Amino acid sequence: MELLQGRIRDYAWGSRTAIAELQGRPVPSAGPEAELWLGAHPGAPATVDRDGSRVSLTDLLDAEPAHWLGEHLVGRFGTRLPFLLKVLAADAPLSLQAHPDAAQARAGYAADADRVNYVDPYHKPELLVALSEFEALCGFRDPAESAAAISAFGVPGLEPVVAALRTGPAGLREAVRLLLNWPAAERAGLVADVLAADVAGPDADLARALAADYPADPGVVVALLLHHVRLAPGEAIWMPAGNLHAYLRGTGVEIMAASDNVLRGGLTPKRVDVDELLRVLRFEVLDEPVVRPEPVAPGVVTWPVPVDDFALHRVEVTPGGPEARLALPGPRVVLCRAGELVVDDGVGRVTLTAGQAAIGAAAGGPLVLGGDGEGFVATAGVR
């Protein structure tokens, strides 16, 4: 095991307290801190200390792929870490967005010479586990519910959207297309008409909250097509390819396939490619977006997901209690969330405090975790 230094991304929607508090730094931070990246993605690779200098994890993997990744993982994913572990801290809504599946990402990357939509040829399914109460929009809900919610505002211009939704899931595509192609000069008026309606309830509250940040964005109405969930700590949301979603507020641990392909659909000043988003979206109802932890050993839980790029486990250990022993494949990234963790893979031993992370190579043995604390262990999902 070796200490891993993550990289902080300072996106405008980030928190000035959550990541700083996790790492024991002064609060508030000098600016927003949105994500702590703990992986080898070229956008912000973590580093390992070697001989008094910091070496990029990407360079280490390139130099010794079999040692770090293992032959099986190299054969499946090549000489790259297939997952990216993050701490995400949102004080304001992220954009509505979706990610391509593997075939779409390969084709999109090959055709996108200017890298407008596709920055790499990989898919990006993702799982977010709440550390605090966490609010999100994720996946299409029953179109009949959305039709009723939008109809209640009594905005005549939205009648074609309501009519499309009343046809069921088959009408989701048309409803999204109509909203995202709303004439630019009329968008502020649309949102104003929604806000002016004498309507109470969760949908109206959501529209008002989003409009406070995006008063001329039709994404305020698109949001009403999605599940609005509030996670308790330990609950998770699973976002497979093609599902429209947005994280609104809270702190969580996120694990995903190592990609940065994002197609936006509103609630953003950034570019929205409507045609490409419509091509990638899955216009189907996501029946159950919330994933609850499943125990796999004393003090160890996981959130099962149907991909082999990654798996995530949470470990809790106490003094005098049993150590946690995890025989997990490939490289392992360990993040200490609270307390103190002693992590040993038979090759190296590190002690982590809250906010610190470590990585163990595939060449190491099973992970043994002791001490008095809580941590997350990220691995590939390949068996």
Contacts for 196 with CB less than 8 Å, ≥ 6 apart: none
Task: Report the 10 Å Cβ neighbour count for 367.
Answer: 24
**CA atoms within 13 A of residue 146's CA, in its CB half-sphere:** 30
Residue pair 332/377 in contact by the 8 Å Cβ criterion: yes
DSSP code at position 34: -
The dihedral over CA atoms of 193, 194, 199, 204, expressed in degrees to the nearest 10, equals -160
Contact partners, residue 59, CB within 8 Å, separation at least 6:
none
Q: What are phi and psi of 98, to 5 degrees?
A: -145, 165
39 near 45, Cβ under 8 Å? Answer: yes
Tracing tokens 């996981």 back to the chain, one arrives at 302
Active site residue 264: yes
Across the strands, what pairs with 32? none
DSSP string, 218-277: THHHHGGGEEEEEEPTT-EEEE-TT--EEEEEEEEEEEEES----EE-SSSSS---HHHH
Q: Are the CB atoms for 305 and 238 separated by under 8 Å? A: yes
Q: Annotated catalytic residue: which of 187, 264, 332, 337?
A: 264
Helices (H) then strands (E): counts for the chain: 12, 22
Contact indicator for 14, 249 with CB cutoff of 8 Å: no
Q: Which helix (H) or strand (E) holds 105?
A: helix 102-111
| β-bridge pairing 134-140 and 245-257 | antiparallel
Contact 245, 222 (CB under 8 A): no
Give all strands (DSSP E) within 13-113, no chain letters: 35-38, 47-50, 53-56, 83-90, 97-98
The residues assigned a catalytic role are 264
